Structure 1
Amino acid sequence: MPAPAAPLRPRDSDALRGELRQLATLGGPPVLFGGVVAGDALLLSEFVGTRTGLLRGLVVRPSSGLGGATMVAGRPLAVSDYRSASTITHDYDTPVLSEGIKSVVAVPVLVDGVARAVLYGAYRSGAPVAGQAAELLVSSARRLADELRIRDEVDRRVKLREARQATAAGTESVREVHAELRRLAAESDGPLRARLHRLADRLCGDGDPAAAALTARELDVLTQVALGCTNLEAASRLSLKPETVKSYLRSAATKLGTHTRYEAVSRARRQGLIP
């Protein structure tokens, strides 16, 4: 299966077209064409030296014709007399023979053992496609395979980065909700406070604040600091004095066995006390 298209990925068919044009300048067969495999079918889209438009847009299925056989075999296949060849199906005789093609070779572009495109080289004479012409086609297929492999790796890394960014954004949202729940709990009384604390705790890991002997207020302060708040900002959000916030933070750090606010937040997260 080809890699899913990425928003910034160039079209693979453009790279294939470039290879065909280069083949033409290097002395490849006079008729060159090919296409990219989408799903389980090959779509012919690029041509050099053709006389008609009958091959354009042709969909080649696995095992059908020379190209389909090449896709399945995973290696170059050729026929020296297309019309009478008995080793292939003749599903596409009309467009091929209308081009006057007699000998043709199909070379798969393999990425991790899977055909991602197919290059064709053909003559309108009965001479087999061999020697330098065949070597040029094989070399071109290898270059294209390397290009597609690189594009796949770029796509993989871009998607991995996007996934990490999405995860980070989701985690940050959880932390903001957690901090807000604890802030609201601090302003509430009785059953509502207990309920808000339970909801906030569900956003954390399996940590037990009691195990670290942290008070509710110490956790409130750590939660705000974890969002990047200064002591003054945390004090404003929790309706406390800055000195009181500093005292709670110092006490929490001592209980967690840390020396700085950042270490305290990190340790609290590792222990599952805050998200």
Structure 2
Amino acid sequence: MPVDDAQLLGAVSDLRRDTGLPVGFAGIAGTSPRMRLTAFLGNRCTALHGLSVRAGLGLGGKALALTRPVVANDYHSATTISHDYDEPVRDEGIHSVVAVPVVVRRRVRAVLYGGLRDEAVLSDRTITAALHAARDLEQTLAVEDEIEARLAEMRSLTEHRETSAPRERLREVYGELRVLSGQVTDSDLRGRLDAVCESLTDTAPPVVNLAPRELDTVSLVALGLTNAEIAHRLGLTAETVKSYLRDAMRKLDASSRLQAVTHARRAGLLP
């Protein structure tokens, strides 16, 4: 999935909060060797708005080309970058800047910038905090990419769901989507994901209501995972998984893991 404006602005906000830097901005990188700066917080003017940055040029362009962070203390006298964009940077009153690429599957999806107006050097702590903001966005985008890939596979599988092999894979994808749903922070995407999961189960209202984590646990039990493996997938402890499974089995009137899965399918909770 492409980075959207809200995600980018949220990442810039996180960077400013965690670094304490007064200026934060970012651009979305596409398939071309250019990116356009679109998200700004703490800016004094519009000099950088809409600026098209070419890979290899300036600070952000260098980060885009090298796929690694680049720092310029005293930007205007830095000898390690080109100075194609000095005028808008000077108009904004920025002295030192860090540019951090957001890299997912070896492709730069965006570049986050943090700027300092004072004549001071960016500390290691500040640079590390900027890196963390970029890593958080990378993780979000990676999860969304996984979801989109599973949804595409699911659309293909549903066309042949009555045959044995696609039906089994469909159940696997359902379990994977249940796990990914717990990692999604975007409410619209989570809503789409939940709707797709529900479309794979019985269309009649379920006779048993399981809590989301109980359903996640049973869906992974259906794939043959152990409690330890389920705990690892969901980011929980094995004891917590046991508790969810025990509560689910009670609600499903099941005395074994197999029976829990069977009853959940009969109740329209699993595909």
TM-score (ref. length: structure 2)? 0.55
Q: How many residues in Structure 1 have an aligned counterpart in Structure 2?
A: 161
1:52 correspondence with 2:41:
no
The unaligned stretches of length 5 or more in structure 1 are 6-10, 172-275
* Preserved CA contact (<8 Å) 1:62 1:71: yes
The unaligned stretches of length 5 or more in structure 2 are 164-271
Determine the structure 2 residue equivalent to 1:89: 82
1:153 correspondence with 2:146:
yes
| Partners of 1:27 and 1:93 in 2: CA distance | 23
* Preserved CA contact (<8 Å) 2:19 2:130: no
1:39 correspondence with 2:31:
yes
- 1:137-164 C-alpha deviation (Å, 9 max, x unpaired): 0111110100010111111111222233
Determine the structure 2 residue equivalent to 1:13: 5
Pairing 1:1-275 to 2, within 5 Å after superposition: 3=1, 5=2, 11-40=3-32, 41-165=34-158, 167-168=159-160
* Preserved CA contact (<8 Å) 2:19 2:127: no
| Partners of 2:53 and 2:112 in 1: CA distance | 13
The alignment partner of 1:107 has SS state of strand
Task: For 2:122, give the aligned amino acid.
Answer: V
Shift of 1:27: 4.3
* Preserved CA contact (<8 Å) 1:65 1:90: yes
Task: For 1:15, give the aligned amino acid.
Answer: Q
Q: Which runs of 4+ in 1 moved over 2 A?
A: 22-28, 162-165
* Preserved CA contact (<8 Å) 1:103 1:124: yes
- 1:161-201 C-alpha deviation (Å, 9 max, x unpaired): 22334x549x9xxxxxxxxxxxxxxxxxxxxxxxxxxxxxx
Measured on the aligned residues, the alpha-carbon RMSD in Å equals: 2.0
Q: Equivalent pairs: percent with the same residue?
A: 39
Shift of 1:46: 0.8
- 1:33-61 C-alpha deviation (Å, 9 max, x unpaired): 11211113222111111111121111111
Task: For 1:81, give the aligned amino acid.
Answer: D
| Partners of 1:16 and 1:168 in 2: CA distance | 38
Shift of 1:101: 0.8
* Preserved CA contact (<8 Å) 1:101 1:122: yes
Structure with bigger gyration radius: 1
